[in-house]
Structure 1
Amino acid sequence: FITISMVFLSAILFALGGFINAIYARSFDEISIIPTFILTPMTYLGGVFYSISLLPEFWQKVSLLNPILYMVNAFRYGMLGASDIAVEVAFAIILVCIVSLASFALYLLNKGTGIRN
């Protein structure tokens, strides 16, 4: 149940992020800026390839600001039963991120940002 629900929550979160990225992109080439300069570093600091407990204390604190860390740990808990972060906290953080991005996307749509004639 945890793994399946995190798949859906992660998909919603990334879809909202992609939607906001598309609103701001003026050309097809600009769409790749966010994945290259934001998502790639977030992936490497998100504990995908290692436990964040192996990082120096400063980078551990930086990693705690990363929503990918919470997604990865919820997946890890769902599949392996072990996680660096409590699964309840991970779900709460992801839900807060989804609500924040959805609110921001609706605000941009209501404002008319990125809408072309």
Structure 2
Amino acid sequence: MTPNKLHKMLSFGFTDKGSSKNQAIGIYGNGFKSGSTRLGSDALIFTKNGGCQSVGMLSQTYLQSIKSQAVVVPIVPFSQHTRSLVVTEDSEASLAAILQHSIISSLENIHAHFDSIHSKKGTKILI
């Protein structure tokens, strides 16, 4: 996924699927969010696509820890070629949140998860 697609996937209520009379599920944009939170309190999503690799965190533990009144989803993009952080408005704060509030404690650990996706495109989810 691209960083934009990851952001949309982790946003409540977003779907790019068209509605159909015969389609009972998958049209409200909450499937991954509600499904993953029923399996565990936290989800880390590692994804590669188009020269960019991103990690996103959907975490009830993080939100409770920072006493958030809204859903905050840290997403961090990296260059797939140089492995360097792509600096955005909130990438450094998001990286700090992921490193402090998840099972991932270092950049080396993040890159090891990206490396475990053996193709140039793909996604790995930890719940």
Same fold per TM (> 0.5)?
no
TM-score by structure 2 length? 0.28
Greater relative contact order (Cα 8 A, min sep 6): structure 1 or 2?
A: 1
Q: Which one has the largest radius of gyration? A: 1
Question: Going by fraction, where is strand more abundant, 1 or 2?
Answer: 2
Question: Going by fraction, where is helix more abundant, 1 or 2?
Answer: 1
TM-score by structure 1 length? 0.29
